[in-house]
Structure 1
């Protein structure tokens, strides 16, 4: 009886090991075959917007390395959370991925009922590029430099209007950071996207807008706005003669837009590794480098173009922004 039981147990073990081997073999085969069809790169913002422009340049370059099309799909709504939630629920096979900016770090503080956890519900592929921001004023705003702007804002306080592209937009975050730096609360005017906010500034309906160089460089070059400073600690290649806010007296002011690429949690490691390789190869593409350079964007160092690089950065940014937003009581209605 004992012998029969032992034989039965041994048979069960062999079957289990065999089944596991088949499963692992199938998973390995699937990973080896990846990708066998087009990949969807989900963008949380409108076509033609700053993140969309970066996504399309990157997707085209990644497709060359992957041997499959990378199709950009725009899913708008709720400061990027609609797109992030969609990807978090997607099949974890590498065929649906997300590109997102600082909003991945700020969403938990802005939305009480967030349906996903940015730190737990995604696998990481890597960072892409950093985009500096610029503080702009309407053409006839009296101040001529950042020092004069700070004085003007303090003298006029809530009479000064500050446009942004909506809740959670980087333009809103930059405005909040500027308010904290100068110690004055201005009147925020939210718009449905970067385009309408810029149109309002150009039309003189609002006084100020802080936004990405991907959107602001053409207006600066055409002298349609007043340029008060770059938001990064050092001057940028795209605007070498434009001083930073920090060097003009707004000490410690530092704000940039960063982009990362994510996959749903549970994506096979071999698949995420393949996507990371395609990301890194794509960022070496001279066409991509030239396009991002034209937009004032700066490709991140290769050590950040990795899952570990993105994960470390997201944790750090979450720790920076979430306490600030909660202190300032900024959240969705």
Structure 2
């Protein structure tokens, strides 16, 4: 009899767990939510995160704050969120680098896909192919021909392992079929400074970072990597310039730890979609030459499929480049 009562009690406790989780989810959130950003304050990911956080806060009725935890190509912040309590109060905002780390890093304390619950994509930004002001190529085909002719006699800037500009540089070299000499900078700003001064030949970076210098004529620009042209920039797409395989975007997405209750995930995802309709966010994204994710792309299901596709897409590109973290 005692054993039967014990089993009944254990069964009742197990049945109560989903009900308890639902009750907690129904009251979510009852205090501040934190978005962990793996890059420094003031950079594109930080700015996007703060705009999204502001819009989400209005929808959730609680503060949504941003915490910057930098280092190791974003993997320190990602590991912290992967190990956080899966209650929806600790989130990760990451860009395309989240997909690339699955291949770039031989050992990670988390699984890029399995350790997180994707909540929705947030934004897309074009990459721009730029060069020093006196680079002789007249168009993108000329750039590719110069790379094919001179190879590692030309220098290519990037700002660290797993960053969007490193990935874009890998894609540029893969498209040309020749490797360049990589020069690593501590951020886009010093790379652009050396590009303007003619100390570096080529760079591939977000339009957010390059648009002002392109418009002022301080650097030479050849193409944008999105399928459509970027408003305000008189540049062809890479497809229009004869390199359709050279296409990518710097996308951002929001993640919760795996195991976060489905009701909480959907609540957060709905808040993302509401934020992406905010007039202030749309205006600021326009200034940043960044497009908000569509309402379809800002869903958990779409985000999960897209992340899997990006991990698979970048794996052979990174493997061919042979650039791994130790």
Question: Does 1:156 find its partner at 2:171?
Answer: no
> Is contact 1:145–1:228 with CA below 8 Å preserved after alignment?
yes
1:133-168 deviation digits (Å, cap 9, x = unpaired): 101112222223223222333332212111001111
- TM-score using structure 2 length: 0.94
> Is contact 2:156–2:201 with CA below 8 Å preserved after alignment?
yes
| Partner secondary structure for residue 72 of structure 1 | strand
Aligned partner (choices 124, 129, 134) of residue 128 of structure 2: 134
Question: Does 1:323 find its partner at 2:326?
Answer: no
Larger Rg over CA atoms: 1
> Is contact 2:174–2:317 with CA below 8 Å preserved after alignment?
no
Distance 1:190 1:113, change over 3 A: same
> Is contact 1:232–1:253 with CA below 8 Å preserved after alignment?
no
Between Structure 1 and Structure 2, how many residues are aligned?
A: 326
Aligned partner (choices 188, 197, 200) of residue 191 of structure 2: 197
1:53-75 deviation digits (Å, cap 9, x = unpaired): 11111111111111111111111
Instruction: Report the counterpart of residue 304 of structure 1 in structure 2.
Output: 297
Aligned partner (choices 246, 267, 270) of residue 263 of structure 2: 270
| Partner secondary structure for residue 303 of structure 1 | coil
- For 1:70 and 1:194, locate their aligned partners in 2 and report how far apart those are by CA, in whole Å: 28
- After TM superposition, list the pairs within 5 Å mapping 1:33-112 onto structure 2: 33-112=27-106
| Partner secondary structure for residue 37 of structure 1 | coil
> Is contact 2:170–2:317 with CA below 8 Å preserved after alignment?
no
Instruction: Report deviation, 1:266.
Output: 0.9
Instruction: Report deviation, 1:311.
Output: 0.5
Instruction: Report deviation, 1:123.
Output: 1.0
Distance 1:18 1:298, change over 3 A: same
> Is contact 2:229–2:237 with CA below 8 Å preserved after alignment?
yes
> Is contact 2:36–2:91 with CA below 8 Å preserved after alignment?
yes
Distance 1:29 1:251, change over 3 A: closer
Instruction: Report deviation, 1:237.
Output: 2.5
- For 1:36 and 1:202, locate their aligned partners in 2 and report how far apart those are by CA, in whole Å: 50
- For 2:227 and 2:263, locate their aligned partners in 1 and report how far apart those are by CA, in whole Å: 38
After the TM superposition, which of the residue ranges 145-154 and 65-74 deviates more from structure 2?
A: 145-154
Distance 1:153 1:326, change over 3 A: closer
After the TM superposition, which of the residue ranges 144-153 and 20-29 deviates more from structure 2?
A: 20-29
Structure 1 runs not aligned, ≥5 long: none
Instruction: Report the counterpart of residue 288 of structure 1 in structure 2.
Output: 281
Question: Does 1:210 find its partner at 2:204?
Answer: yes
1:12-37 deviation digits (Å, cap 9, x = unpaired): 45534543455444322221221111
- TM-score using structure 1 length: 0.92
- For 1:320 and 1:89, locate their aligned partners in 2 and report how far apart those are by CA, in whole Å: 27
- For 2:259 and 2:167, locate their aligned partners in 1 and report how far apart those are by CA, in whole Å: 31
- For 1:50 and 1:43, locate their aligned partners in 2 and report how far apart those are by CA, in whole Å: 11
Distance 1:10 1:155, change over 3 A: closer
- For 2:264 and 2:11, locate their aligned partners in 1 and report how far apart those are by CA, in whole Å: 24
